[in-house]
A and B are shown apart, each in its own frame.
Chain A
Amino acid sequence: MSADVLSQLRDYGSLLEDAQDPLTVSDAISRAQHIQTLPDDQPGIGAGQTKRRARVFVFVAGLVVLVVVSILLASLQTEVPPAGTSIPGPDLPTTLSGPSDPAEIGRSYFRTLDDADESGWWALFADDAEVVYLLDGGERRGSIALDSQDGATEARRANQAIYDFLTAIRATYTDVTCSADGSGDGGSGRAIVNCTYTYESLITKVMDLILPGRAQFAVQDGRIITVNYDIVDFAPVQDVPNSYLQERQPDTFSGLCEEVPGRGAACARLYLRNLEGIAQAWEER
């Protein structure tokens, strides 16, 4: 033994550094894809709570459930509705206000931006009947230009479905601009909504990338039936000209999701696989 612990630690540190390659973006993305399949309430901070605490919580929760069930059973025994009585369901929250009958949609439906809902969900509002804004928590994120009232109706119905798709990918989208082509005629209940956006996530931040993309949503009766998307090339932030979206590069990553179920998770996974391709291509450059 000839060297002090401190200098040995310094030498051991370089040994540790040599023994391990840096994490790649693909590593993190593959983990993220794994997480996509997990339920939303996966623990993060606090995941290290002891089993004992969890058992106590389960025990207490079980007691509470027992008491509540007992009370409910007791009340049901005293108030049994007559046969044939319809029992009303719970009040489901609505994310959009205004008339639901397309015939009633008109200028009066749209409100000004000042009236924007602060609920955190996207909503459509307009200061006139031709431009509809996409809002998130009251913050303006984009707009849909409309050329007919029927288009407006369909765009309004598409709003939640598109939001769900973007949410399922679990990233932030900025500069979202959508346009409905006005083909929704109220009768067919179908609309085509074209969107461009900039994709932003931890991974893109790590790699200092900007990922402009565009997607075309075919929407019927308020439900996305197909998503056709391109992730339009990629480049370091500093090299991206303002007109980048117009100067589409040859190496794009495209995908088509049909019949997007539920919250668009299946389509989101396809999208993520493409993103992984981008990350790998980026690392090879």
Chain B
Amino acid sequence: MLSNEPRLRHALNSAFGLETGREAAAEALAYGWEHWERIRDMENSIGYLYVVGRDRGRKMNRSRRFVFPEVPEDRTPWVEPGLPRALAALPERERVVVLLVYAYGWAMREVGDLLGITKSTVQTHAERGVKKLRRKLGVNL
């Protein structure tokens, strides 16, 4: 489970931003603590805990602003300042896939396992999400 803590946090960060994502990950871990006897034998315990965290995160985000950190102006390498807002505008599923695959470097199969979808569906979400980001940021590459 040691390696799963950052994975759970990354996934929930991708869904809800850093503030809510972190809290949702802590809630999910605590839920796992409380229900450990049931969860320990699960084949995909990280996927289960992700769903727990996602439900908590959705509730939390009803009453707070969605936050992805702004890009510092002097940051090198340069990152488009509009990227956080463009990410926030994506549908949740596309945002999670895009960030996990391209920002956090997960394999598509790993993302599929977490979300309970096939690798090809992950790929479809990733392509759609990136296409929307390119359009929003005015990038043609």
Identify the A interface with B (CB < 8 A).
Answer: 1-13, 15-17, 19-20, 22-23, 27-29, 31-32, 34-36, 43-48, 170-172, 200-203, 205-208
Contact = CB atoms under 8 A, between A and B. Distances in A.
A204 B15 CA distance: 27
A82 to B, nearest CB: 49
Q: Which 4 pairs, one residue from A and one from B, show the smallest C-beta to C-beta distance?
A: A13-B103, A31-B30, A47-B55, A48-B55
Contacts of B18: 16, 19-20
Given A28-B30, A47-B59, A206 B139 contact: no
A172 B40 contact: yes
21 contacts: A3-B79, A8-B83, A9-B83, A9-B133, A12-B84, A13-B99, A13-B104, A16-B99, A31-B30, A32-B33, A35-B30, A35-B31, A45-B51, A48-B59, A171-B33, A172-B40, A201-B33, A205-B1, A206-B1, A206-B2, A206-B5
B78 to A, nearest CB: 7
Contacts of B122: none
Contacts of A200: 36
Contact of B79 (A11, A20, A35): A11
A168 to B, nearest CB: 11
Nearest to B18: A20
Contacts of B77: 3, 7, 11
Contact of A12 (B22, B29, B34, B71): B71
B37 interface: yes
B71 A1 contact: no
Contacts of A43: 55
Nearest to B76: A11
A202 B55 contact: no
A23 B9 contact: yes
Interface of B: 1-2, 4-6, 9, 13, 18, 22, 25-27, 29-37, 39-40, 48, 51-52, 54-56, 58-59, 68-69, 71, 75, 77-80, 83-84, 98-99, 102-105, 130, 133-134, 137-139, 141
A22 to B, nearest CB: 6
Contacts of A32: 30, 33-34
Given A45-B48, A205-B40, A23 B35 contact: no
Contact of B69 (A4, A15, A172, A202): A15
Nearest to B86: A5
Nearest to A43: B55
A5 B141 contact: yes
A12 B2 contact: no
Contacts of A44: 31, 35, 52, 55
Given A11-B77, A48-B55, A170-B36, A28 B71 contact: no
Contacts of B134: 5
A207 B2 contact: yes
A172 B38 CA distance: 10
Contacts of B37: 172
A47 B56 contact: yes
B102 A171 contact: no
B79 A5 contact: no
Contacts of A205: 1, 36, 40
Contact of A20 (B13, B31, B138): B13
A202 B102 contact: no
Given A1-B137, A202-B33, 12 more contacts: A1-B138, A3-B78, A5-B130, A5-B139, A6-B130, A8-B79, A19-B69, A22-B9, A27-B29, A31-B29, A44-B31, A45-B51
